[in-house]
């Protein structure tokens, strides 16, 4: 089986062997490119930006709802099957915030520095001798067409702890604050391959692949 090609231009023909990836997030696209390249699929994944598809309005109340909304949006515009990711960080002591609002927790979409600073501030008064638990969540939804009544849903959870200060230079989002006790490292300190092997997104991809009728 051939490796997945994520560099197809929008001028090329489309077929059932091509799926749209409903994301314009550069960090996610980079991770998905590596994850799908390692999968045993004979499918070309086209990032929605290459088809001039703008982000959907994410007005769901859960990761599952938003993933389905984004997948249907990309599929409806492209006429192709679509895969969408909705992911974020859940911190139980904050009522599972930032949750589905992780990317805009500080009010400005995609500002990692401000989002991390707000999380540190919000947790300051809750610090004790016990570590503050958190988990990264990734929900993937695949629709075969825009009105697919049976989307394929996969979920990955990555357990960790939330630090008081960032550590590590890799990754994106809340990775510098996400401490992995077993590895004695943050998600931002891992290599791309190590992160993909154990991350919430890596887990969700494996679950999704297991459900595909290949």
- Rounded to 5°, the CA angle 58-200-95 comes to 60
Cis amide leading into 210 (omega within 30): no
* Residues ≥6 apart with Cβ < 8 Å to 197: none
- 86 flagged as catalytic: yes
Helix (H) or strand (E) holding 18: strand 18-21
Q: Which is nearest to 170 in space by CA: 154, 187, 157, 155?
A: 187
Residues 99, 69: Cα–Cα separation, whole Å: 17
CA atoms within 13 A on the CB side of 111: 12
State the pairing for strand pair 18-21/44-47.
Answer: parallel
Q: Which is nearest to 162 in space by CA: 141, 183, 176?
A: 176
Pick the catalytic residue from 42, 55, 85, 86.
86
Helix (H) or strand (E) holding 129: none
- Count CB neighbours of 32 within 10 A: 23
Which positions are annotated as active-site residues? 86
């Amino acid at each position: 089986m051939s490796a997945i090609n994520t560099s197809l231009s929008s001028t090329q023909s489309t077929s059932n062997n091509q799926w749209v990836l409903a994301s314009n997030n550069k960090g996610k696209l980079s991770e998905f490119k590596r994850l799908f390249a390692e999968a045993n699929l004979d499918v070309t994944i086209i990032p929605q930006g290459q088809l001039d598809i703008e982000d959907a309005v994410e007005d769901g109340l859960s990761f599952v709802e938003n993933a389905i909304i984004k997948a249907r949006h990309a599929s409806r515009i492209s006429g192709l099957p679509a895969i969408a990711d909705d992911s974020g960080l859940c911190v139980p002591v904050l009522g599972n915030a930032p949750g589905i609002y992780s990317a805009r927790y500080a009010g400005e979409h995609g500002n990692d520095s401000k989002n991390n600073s707000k999380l540190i501030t919000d947790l300051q008064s809750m610090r004790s001798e016990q570590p503050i638990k958190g988990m990264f969540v990734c929900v993937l939804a695949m629709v075969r067409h825009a009105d697919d009544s049976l989307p394929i849903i996969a979920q990955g959870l990555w357990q960790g702890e939330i630090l008081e200060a960032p550590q590590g230079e890799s990754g994106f989002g809340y990775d510098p604050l996400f401490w992995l006790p077993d590895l004695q490292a943050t998600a931002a300190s891992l290599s791309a391959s190590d992160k993909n092997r154990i991350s919430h997104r890596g887990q969700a991809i494996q679950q999704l692949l297991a459900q595909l009728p290949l």
